[in-house]
Structures are given as structure tokens and as C-alpha cells.
Structure 1
């Protein structure tokens, strides 16, 4: 048991040699920290992933040698899930839960917590102290190769679901690693390309989810990302890791690097990266040399060592080696998670749910009905304990006289049409084109796999009843959408997905998932498409704050399906909405209450979404933004009132000129919605906007800006009267002439007085006004 006091930790660091300190701040092999036997400092074990525990016995149990470790690491990253080469070495079976792309559609923090608790139990059983997840990078483009790991295009969902999973993990005694910090939104040249993001977009979108998750759950670790951020390697970015993360947000946990993400070890430690993963002898030599030359201050090294020792103490204090795991129970949880997340996109004529007693023949087309696509490819890939086959689970529902047939994906469209001639319903299992996908790659198309769209379209053209089951890392194009009867978006549903699909198809579960991203009609509609994926090592986030649905709203582009969309086998009405305040002021907290009712015939769950729409804001803002959500279970005819708490930040935008959050709008419309394009109720909140004195006035500033300063008239009038030996009235008249000009103040003034007033004198005068502004703020 390693449980030193804080004073004893200080003493341990004082006893270490420089070499031991460098060892401690570097990994041991691929998946451990370095132990220091002479001081009684143990090693801790970490592993991927974000939706399942990937425990490699050949890499974790076989020792700490770094021989062939890079080859093993690259084998892991480059693997393709389900291609037969999936797990390098020997990987212990574990529960493969739904991936982040589907869990995001649950909009359910409690379910995320339960998933985290289950992951913690499996980690404890394996002897893992730190699970490297969750990942919450914003899904700004559906082409991103790791989009399947992440929850949403919106920071509210990202932050809240991550907080739920982190709390479940850490309440179970296993640390979480919130990743990848920050703006790791593309896999193309991911270790060398700079994500060029303006500060307002960073604050309001890309950092906001991390900030929210950290505030709500306190993850034990944060993992920095591979990419450069505005020209600086993320693992070496002092602004990101110290100024924002630690100084502004107050984070006091451990920051570790993504695997081999550090280029300059000394710079990374100065920036705030404590632990360099995995072990790298050259980087250890870099740090040791920097310590010896004084390039890295010993105080900074010692502080990092103390942080790491406190983390090890936390891990060891929470060990539960006797934990047993009921994998069958976890499989049932995986099924429930998938069933509560799958999105019913379309249900024309209420073709779903299917009634097995009324069916005589069901035709199922597609290879993934037999070999389901349950997860993405890369370092998060999990060796599933068991996998539900969709065809098997569907066939189990077939009774006497109910025939289920299957055709492979390679079937010709005309053969599929002929086979469906006497079928009551045809179900097509479809997936995205598999070229370039998964970790290390970005997709280059939103099309379905070869031939699948043609089969769907041919069936639709022939008038067959068609249900499409989509497996996909993110959005896909669906030019056939108008001709099919129903569509289920399953994303990557994990090992229980096959049973979850069957339950929804036959109405044993009422679908309640809603999209956590916008589905575009075509690839060219993607926000930022015109600057994707960047050039010459720089990727400009040209859409700024207008990410996802914010962009589609701004540009009035009709999506295939909007953010927040999802159907049910019942219907819901929104009946009442109240606010507990009438006006937004700086520091305002507002509680909104919304009553929803189940107006249909079966029980179901509705996800009530709360958006804020600013009216005449000071700076350009999205038309509406999600600020809160709640998932509520309702029996037929039942009504419930859900409560939403809005805090001051929910009404503010980030003003980069003042480096602060600002309340500035004429009013706010609070909207209760079933999706971002389905607003059901609204209430208007007046706003007492913040006012600021103009700052950074110069002789070249326009007169209107200068005269907006409340002291400007008096100061300038007195100055001109004295300088030009004119009366007060004459000075006022002169300023009135200057006031309406569109030219700079000094250029306009000199038109009337020539060079009798020096520009330098005006500069001194305005600097005094600027100083008054700074003092008042």
C-alpha cells in the first residue's frame, strides 16, 4: 500500500536523483508508470479505451521491456476492427459497449454513469488503475477518422455525458483520462498539422466541453492531443495546459501526453505536461540534459514529481483487487445502452414496430446482419466478450409461418428486387464506405459501401417496403431517403447492438435516441468544408463558432436530419413553460420548467432540449444554442415537469478584446424543443446588457468611438480651448464639426486647425482616457 502523506511525498522527491525524477515522469514500457523500488514507489497500469477495456496480456503482463514497443503500438493504431487481425498479441475479452458516436445519442447522463461503473469493475478485475477515456473532441466534421469515439458536435452534450462516465469510473476507483486536449478534430497528418482556431471558437466550442466535464466530475487526468494548436504542439502549449487548464479552471490533476505526442520534452514539462507516455529513451535523455543545463528549473521538475506521486497514491488507495465481474450482466447493460441510444430517423406510415404475428416473410439484405459492425478501428478497439448477431436475434422473434431469409450485400439490385417480391418487409443492413476510416485516417466520402445505395434505391423504385439499418462512424449521405419506409441510425452499437436492433424493430423497446450531430444532405454542406483538411501544415477552422447545427441555422441550409432529431413509437406534446426570472443581468441564474406529456398509446422517453436564442446581441452569435437537456419517461397520458438550471455563462459570449465573458443582447428567447428545428415552446427574457467604456483609443480612431467615452467631450474641449486660445463655445463648435467624420479623429481635426495641434499631444490625451478605462474595469 502506497499511502504517503503530502509531507512524505515532498521527502520522497527530495531523496530522488535527477535520473529517478526523469524516470518517474516518463512511462515504463507502453502502459505503465515507472516504479522506483528503492523508495517504495510502485508502478500503476493504464490502458485504452473509451468504450471498453482493452487489456493486452502480451504488453502489460509480459514485462516492461520497450523492445518492439513501437511496432506493437503502430499495430494497434493501424488495426481495422473486425478484419481478423484485430487484436495484436493476446487481448483479454471485455465488454464492448456502444461507441461514443451512439452513446451521444442517448442524451442520458445516468446511463453514461452506469457504463463508467461497469468499465471500472472490469478495470479493477484486470488490475488497471487508469482508463484512457472518455474522448470528447467536437465532431465538427463527420469525416474525422475518430469521430466514432466522440459524443457530439455540441459542448453541452460532450461535457455532461463525459462527466457522467468519469464519475462512474472514478466512483468505482478507476481514474479517467479526459482527452484529447484540444482540437484533435482530424486524423490527417495529426501529429504535424496545426489546428488554427480563433480564441472565441476555442472558448465557446472546443474548450467548453472539457471545462464543463472537469467542473462536474474532476477527472484524475487530462490527456493532451497530438496536433499543434495555433502553431504550438498541444503537449507543449503553456497557454492551454497552464494558463487555461490550471490557472483559469483550477485543475489540479495530472496531465499526460498522448502516445509519442511530445516533440520537445523540456518544453512539454515547462508547459504543464507531467507524464510523458509511453517510455522513450531519447526523450528521457532530453529532459535529463535540460535539467543539467538549467533549461528546466528543478522546482518545476519537483512539482511535477509531486503531482505524479499524488496520482499514484490516489490510484493505489482505490485498488479493489477482489472485484468480480458479471460479464453477462454487462452484456445486458450493453444491450440497454444501445437500445436507448439508437435513433429512429424515419417511420413512414408507422411501419415500425413490426408485428411478428402479421408477418409471413421477412427479407434481410446485408453482410452486417451476420457479422455486425459494432465498433470503430484504432487504439480504442475492444475484444468483445460476446456479440449479438442481428440476423439471429431477429429470427428468434419469428413464429410459426414467419420466414426469415438473408441475401448478402454483393447481390445485384435486380436480384434483391426479385427476392423481395413476396416479402412483407425488406430490411437492408448498410454501412459507410470503408475506404480510409478509423484512427489515423479521415473519411473521404459520406457514401454507403459499394452497391448498397443502388440496392436500396432499386427496392424503393420497385415499390417494396424497405427498412434501412445504418452502421456508421458518423453521418452518411442518403439520396434514397424519400423512397424508404423507415431508417434506424445505429452508428457503432457495441456487442449488444444486434439484440437492441431486434428489440426496437419489434417494439419490445420504444426508440428514444436523438441525433447528437447534424446529418447533411451532401458532403459539400459540411461546415468548414472549403478549408478541410488544410494545407501546408495548417488547418483553418473557418466556420469559427458556427459548428454543426449553428452553421446550418446561420446559412439556412436544410439538413438531411437536424441535430436533436429522433422519432418514437408514441407522441409527445409540450404543454407549459415557465421561467423564475424576467430579466437577465450579469450573474443571473434562471430556472426554466417545461411540462411534457405522452399523447400516444405506449410508454416512451422524450428528450426535452432547452435552447437560448439571443436577440440583437453585441457580437454575431448562433441563432440558437443548446444549453440543457433532460430525458423523461412518460406513460400514456402522463405529464411531467422537468427543471433546467441556467447559469450566467449560458447567456454570455466570449469577448476576445476584453478576454472575458460578456452579457450583451437586447433579450433572450428561451426555447423548449424536440430538436434544433422543432421548437415547441418559448419564453422571452429581457436583458440588462453590460456596457463597457471604449478602450485603446488612438488619434486614428474614428470620432464616433472617441466621443462614446463619457469623459472625451470635456477633456477635448478643455484641451482645445487652452491649446488654440479659443472660447469654450468655439471649442464645442469645433468638436461638433469633427464629430460626424468617418476619417480618423486627428486627420479630421487637422483639416480644421492645420498643424497647430500635434498628433503626439492628442495621443497623450487619449492614453489618459484609456488608462481611466483600465482602472474602471
Structure 2
């Protein structure tokens, strides 16, 4: 394309209908379609979001085939615990630099879905259970990447909160909850950071696939929020491309479903698609292509590795410390666990990065010449080996300090499937308990992308949670253990004691296709705090090697645009950083609300005895709820308490303000006489179908009963496997998947993800993901055979 930017519409006006159809779908797995006649180049987009995954071999969306080395930074679940927007900015600069080096124009991330349940298999890729924290952190990351010339793809829009049946599930969510919980972070990032693209999710939202949901993509995203960028489908998510174009989706990925190009061209030829809608979409695509050139300059892998180390050390959360940390003595250390030699440092799936280097904990001890003894104790799987246990116990009795590396193996949490429970492997828990009983100086170092139960918590001397610390995580662990870095991470999610305590326990990832968000706004701490449910660790919790004191709160300016200031002092003996947190508590609400909500935070570094004044700003949205009658944000009358704390449950300062100017009634569907279940504060939460229907205004869809329905293009392979042709197709699809990723056939986590992904995929997605091996006609013929319509099947096969 010419160096001087050509007017997008001038180019669009020169395009044939066939070229217009082609530009709206990918050329292959990762590239946009070039159109040589008009000088339109192809650009590359590829996975992130905590590193660059540019594949060397055939493309796939689950991280199976090898990719070029790139810095594997800590995952979103990890860096969220830093609560450090500046750190996110530095990570964004590094990610952009690595994209430039590999000629990648768009990095597919970050993922900002809210952690509805600890069991979501992809939670390691998301920031938080809180939309305010998610939006603030993601805005810093996206702004930095975009500022450095690389596009981002904010995902997965929207209400994509489970992996089970993710391509056919229907998220049923009331409008207030959508706006306050599941759309809020997207809105903030769109308005503040202006991402180049938004990725539409696999699932349905209130009955309509996200990729063809006009309310979501056009009414909310474009008209209300002012988004002018490109909407791209998640890979294989497009159900009906004509409907998607009409709903304001611009780009179908990947680019293997050429049948859809023909459908779009034919629809344009026959006047079945509004040409203005198509042209506007193409103009957005051309703008994306023109505005994201790459320079190919190499990056300094060592500088980026050290940045990854800094990010990890600032993100680790010290959950317990009886005074054993930091370690002052480097003698008599016993290290236990496979993860000390084979780090669990990132999640599995489309975000799987090939790191530039990966030192283990024992590597770091060796390089820094710290003496230690090592024993496996247990492997990374669930099995227990008595000889390994006996050896570990024998060595633990003699050790001055025992460091146990434990957590969730890769097969326990991954894209493609959800966790079955919150427990670590039994072998991990049992050995931690046994060693803690015989050696009081036991430090447990956890590696996991989401909350776990800790039955041994009372007996361990210290617990350091590293989440998934990236390629430099082991070095960061040593930094924190020996006091070179003072831990300052704070939990970006609550740690329930038991999965049964979670608000969506009875509705999360249930059999069938309906995902009913009956808990409404009561997600994460909004539930535990409001319903007085004891948790293992509260939202915002984290310990330090020093102490801090808070004083002198002041609230100034006119409500609701308030300035809140206070003084924080390092009252301890070592330098450290504290995450100050501002919550708002409405004392006597008439509409059901959470007890308090996070509305501000700042991370402050202080030397011993140093004090600083922290100033945080509030606005009308800080006090508002979404009123579904008037379809806007409203401040309810009453007294609001501004609370300053070091965690949700550790509030140090309070100041009250009053508002009395609202004249609007509570929405009818939110009034207590119609939905009493939402005003009952007894745990566990119990919401009737009637109350949920009243709140959403949507009758709960009938449970999908396969045997009463014919097979369709949206039937899954699992469902089709009820008949012989389905079982044959499943066998062929699984074999073909393995053939496409030869380097991963012996990788248990990848193969588990492949099997689940294939079996839970709708038949339509096979066309897009088959690299051209299947066509729509062929799949429709298979469906006709399954429905015993054999003559119809012959027609489809002959037309193929």
C-alpha cells in the first residue's frame, strides 16, 4: 500500500463484491487477506496475552505446535496481584517490542473476563473477580501496547466465564449484572485505552451468539461506548457470517471457511446485505491494516527477562508468615517437589509461550551458590510414591528449613476444560501436612493460576503464592525468600474455604447449554462479604516484611466528584510497598447491593518511617448502580461510607458523605416484593427460577434435550456421537487434530484439551478449523445422515 495513507472508502469503492467478502475473513490461521490488485497487504495477528505466541509450524489455537521464543511474562492472574498500573505499562512496552520484532501487528489479548467461579479453567488468563480492578489494570496494559504501535484484541466479549461447552453455551444474565459486573471492565478499557480490536466470544448471550449479537456489538459497543475499531470473531466462533456482519462484526477468523466468503459475495450480489454496512466494516479493517506497520527490530531478551523477574517479584502474595521469612540463614535448606526442577510458570492453551529461557528454582540456587538438598517428594501428578515420601520425611527431620514447591499440575487447569474441584493433588497436600508436623520451619511455595484449598495451612510456617510467575518466576522466588524484594502482592480474588461456598456453585458449568447467572451481582467478594461467608483469604489480602499505618483521611470537593486523601506511613524497619484500597459502602440501600465495592487504589513505595499523602478521585460512577428502567447509571439517595483499607476486611479509615437528590424509583424488576430471594442474606444463596426470570425478564430456556431434537449445524460432536456417523466423525476429527500437531501427541495436557475441544465443538466450527478439509456441504451431508435423511445427504455430497 502507498506510504501516504489512502482514504479507506476510496479503496473500498474500488473493490469487487468477491474482494469485499475475502477481506472480511482471514487468509489463514493468523493473517488477514491481502488483495494484491489494490495493494492491500496482509497483517499478522497472533496469541498473547502475557507473551508472543508466533507459531513456527501449522497454526492452531490451543498452543500445541511450536512457536518462536518470546519472553513469557507472568500471567494476568499473577500480575493482577501487583495492583501496579505502572508495571503493566512496562510489560506492554516489552510486548509491543517483541511483536515488532516478529512482524505481528495485533496481539490477541488481554483477556478481561470476570472470575465468576474459581473452577473456570481459563482463570489464569484473567485479572480479577472485580471489574474496577480489571478495567484499571487492563487499561494500562492496552494503552501501553497501542501507544507503541501494536494493536490489541480485548477478549472475550462477553460473559464468557466457563470452558465447558463454551462454543454452544448460553449465558443468561440480567441487564443490571451485565452492566455492573461483566461489561464494566470492557467499557473502561474501550473508553480509556482504545484497543484496536475487540474479540467476540464463542458463547451466546441471552439467546444470541455474541458474534451476531446486535445489542452487544452495535448498540452497546459502538453506539454507547463509541468503539470505532474492528470486531473480530474468536477462532471458529462465527455461527452465521451474514448475521454477524449485520451485527457489526468485521473479521471472521480463522480464514478456512471459504464457503462463507461465497455466501457474503452472493448476498451482496443479490441485495441481501446492506452495502453501506459492509463498506463501513471494510473501512474499519483497512484502517487497522494501514495503522499497524511493524519495524522488525530485534528486542533485548535479557532486559525483558529481568523485567519479567521484577514483575513476578512484585506480584507474589505472602499469605502467611510466622516470622520465618525472609530467610536469614542459607544453611540447612531442603527443597521438595518436582516444581522446583520443572517450574509451573504459565497456563495451557492459546496463551502457551515458548520462553527465551527458563531457570528452575534449583538452577537459581546453584547459580547463586546457595547450598541445599533436593528431593522430589512427589511428582506433578496425583499419584503418591511411598519411597519418595519416606525420603522426604527423613530429610525434613534434619533440615533447618524446608521449602516445598507445590500447586496445580498443568492437567488441572487449562483452556478448553474447567477444573473439577479446588484441591491440589492429594500427594501434594498429604506430604505438606506430614512435613509440617515434623519440621516447624516449613515454607510452602504455591504455583497455581487460581485458588486452591489448603488443609495444611495451620501447620505451615509460611505460604508464598507465586501464581504462575512466568519464565523468571524462580529467580523472583529467591528474591522474595531472602528479602532482596519485600513481597507486596495483594489478592485480586477471594479464596473461598470450599467450592460449595461459592455463589454460583449450583449453576456453574452444569450439564446442558444454559449458564444461568442466578447470583446476579453477587460475584466473588461481593457475595462473601455481603452474605457473611468466611473465606480462607479475603480480596485484597497480602502480607509484607514491614508494617504500615494509615491516618488523616480527608474528603473534599462536591459530591459525587470527590477527592479523598490520607496519609500512609511505613512504620516498620525495611522498605516496602503497600496497596492502598478505597471501598464504598452504602449504609442503607433500598435496592439490593454488595456491602462494599472497590472504587480506587494506589500502590505506594515507602522507606522505613517515610510517610506519603495518597490522593484518590471519585466520580458519579463510583456511587452508581445500573437502573434498568431508565437504562443508565443512577445514584441512590443515602449515606455512603468511604473506607480506606489494606484489604477488603482490614479497613483503617472511614469518612461519610450523603446524597439526597435522586428522584427515581428502584426498577420494578429489582423491587424486594417481586424478587425476595435477592434480599435474603442467608448463605448459601438460593434463587428460585421465578425470581431469576423476574430479574432478567427472560424465561429460562428449556433444557436442551438432544433426543427430542434433530441434529443441526450447532450440535456438538459429543451429541452426534449418539449415532454411528457421529462416532466415525469424532474418530476422524481426533486423528486429524493429532496429525496437525505432531509435536504435542505425547503431551497429556494438550491432548486432554484437544479431546475436550473436539468433542464439545459444534459441527459448524469444524469447517473453520479443518484447514479446508471440510466444507459446509459435506458437514450438512453428515448431519442429514445422522437425521436419517439419506436422499438429502446425497444432494449435499454431490454439491460439495
The answer to whether the superposition gives a TM-score over 0.5 is yes
User: Residue in 1 aligned with 2:725?
Assistant: none
What residue is the counterpart of 2:264 in the other structure? 287
Distance in 1 between the 2:641 and 2:368 partners?
48
Q: TM-score under structure 1 normalisation?
A: 0.83
Aligned twin of 1:422: 398
User: Which residue number corresponds to residue 40 of structure 2?
Assistant: 41
Match of 1:161 among 106, 131, 137: 137
1:477 maps to 453
Offset at 1:436? 4.8
Q: Equivalents in 1 of 2:318, 2:2: separation in Å?
A: 50
The corresponding residue for 1:542 is: 518
The answer for unaligned runs of 5 or more in structure 1 is 60-71, 80-86, 703-777
2:12 aligned partner = 13
- 1:125-161 CA distance string (max 9 Å, x none): 1111110011111111111111111111111111111
Give the alignment of 1:706-717 within 5 angstroms.
none
- After the TM superposition, which residues 234-249 of structure 1 pair with which residues of structure 2 at under 5 Å, given as runs? 234-249=210-225
In structure 1, the partner of 2:193 is 217
Higher relative contact order (CA 8 A, sep 6+): 2
Distance 2:343 2:411 in 1: 18
Question: Which residue does the alignment assign to 2:712?
Answer: none
Quote the residue 2:316 is aligned against.
342
Alignment-derived partner of residue 759 in structure 1: none
Q: CA deviation at 1:5?
A: 5.0
Contact residue 629 and residue 667 of structure 2 kept, 8 A = no
CA contact (8 A) 2:440 2:459 kept: no
Report the alpha carbon displacement of residue 409 of structure 1 after superposing the two structures with TM: 1.6
Partner of 1:405: 374
Contact 1:600–1:637 (CA under 8 A) maintained in structure 2: yes
Q: d(CA) in 2 for partners of 1:130 and 1:193? A: 28
The equivalent residue for 1:135 is 111
Rounded Cα–Cα distance in structure 2 between residues aligned with 1:434 and 1:378: 10
SS in 2 for 1:632: strand
* Among 346, 349, 363, the residue aligned to 1:378: 349
| Cross-structure match for 2:325 | 352
Structure 2 counterpart SS, 1:499? helix
**Residue 505 of structure 1 aligns with which residue?**
481
Partner of 1:152: 128
Give, in whole Å, the separation in 2 of the partners of 1:693 and 1:624. Answer: 22
Quick check: 1:414–1:458 contact (8 Å CA) kept in 2?
A: no
C-alpha distance in 1, partners of 2:17/2:419? 45
Aligned residues: 662
Kindly report the root-mean-square deviation, in angstroms, between the aligned alpha carbons of the 2 structures.
Answer: 1.8
- Tell me, in whole angstroms, the C-alpha distance in 2 between the residues paired with 1:594 and 1:535: 50
Cross-structure match for 2:580: 608
Partner of 1:296: 273
3-state SS, counterpart of residue 159 of structure 1: helix
Q: CA deviation at 1:397?
A: 4.6
Superposition map of 1:60-459 within 5 A? 72-73=59-60, 76-77=61-62, 87-88=64-65, 90-279=66-255, 280-316=257-293, 319-321=294-296, 323-348=297-322, 350-356=323-329, 359-398=330-369, 402-410=371-379, 412=386, 413-432=389-408, 434-459=410-435
Q: Is the 8 A contact 2:347 2:410 kept in 1?
A: no
The answer to whether structure 1 residue 518 and structure 2 residue 498 are counterparts is: no
- Aligned-pair distance for 1:3? 4.9
The equivalent position to 1:551 in structure 2, one of 507, 527, 532, is 527
Question: Is residue 635 of structure 2 the alignment partner of residue 663 of structure 1?
Answer: yes
For 2:281 and 2:116, the matched residues in 1 are separated by: 34
**What's the CA shift for 1:695?**
9.6
- Distance in 1 (alpha carbons) for counterparts of 2:69 and 2:82: 25
Deviations 1:86-141 (A, max 9, x none): x51x4211100001110110101111011010010011011111100111111111
| Structure 1 position 434, deviation (Å) | 4.9
Query: Which residue does the alignment assign to 2:607?
Result: 635
Q: Could you tell me which residue of structure 2 aligns to residue 716 of structure 1?
A: none
For 1:689 and 1:558, the matched residues in 2 are separated by 36
TM-score by length of 2: 0.81
Q: 1:525/1:694 Cα in 2 relative to 1: closer, same or farther (>3 Å)?
A: closer
The alignment partner of 1:345 has SS state of: strand
- Post-superposition shift, 1:406? 2.9
Question: Which digits, 9 at most, give the CA deviation of each residue in 1:609-652, with x for residues without a partner?
Answer: 01100121231110000011100000000010111111111100
